[in-house]
Amino acid sequence: MATVLEASVAVVDVIGAIAFVYIASTLAKIARSVGGSIDTANGFLVLALAQVFATVAILSGGRLAYTSYIATSVFSAAGFTIIFTSRKKLYTLTLPALLPILSDTVAAATALVASYKFRGVAKILVASLSIGFILRLVSLFLLPASTGILLLVLGEYSRSLAATVLAVYYALPQGGR
Amino acid sequence: MLYLRVVGRVKKHKRTRVEIVIDVLENVASYGPIVPTRLATSANMPYDRLLPIVEDLVSKKILSVREEGRSRYLEMTPKGYKLLRELKKLRKLLRDFELDII
Domain boundaries, chain A: 2-171
The reported pTM is 0.71
Q: Is residue B87 part of a domain?
A: yes
The structural domain count of chain B equals 1
Nearest to A107 by CA among A97, A116, A120, A118: A97
Question: Which domain CATH number covers B60?
Answer: 1.10.10.10
Q: Is residue B102 part of a domain?
A: no
Interface probe, candidates A23, A34, A85, A110, chain B, greatest B C-beta count within 10 A = A34
Residue A155: phi and psi, rounded to 5, are -60, -45
User: Nearest CB to B90: which of A83, A87, A170?
Assistant: A170
CB A67 within 8 A of CB A99: no
Condensed to tens digits (0 to 9), the pLDDT of residues B39-83 reads 999 888 898 989 998 998 999 889 999 888 888 899 999 999 999
**Run means of pLDDT, 10 residues per run, chain A, 177 residues:** 79 91 90 80 92 91 86 85 68 45 82 87 89 85 77 84 87 64
Nearest to A80 by CA among A176, A158, A159, A148: A159
Q: Which residues of A fall within a CB distance of 8 Å from B101?
A: 27, 30-31, 34, 36-37, 40
Note whether ipTM > 0.85 here. Answer: no
- Give the residue numbers spanning the domain of B40: 17-95
Q: Note whether B83 contacts A30, CB cutoff 8 Å.
A: yes
Give the other-Cβ count within 10 Å of A149's Cβ. Answer: 14
Assign 3-class secondary structure to A136-162. HHHHHHHCCCHHHHHHHHHHHHHHHHH
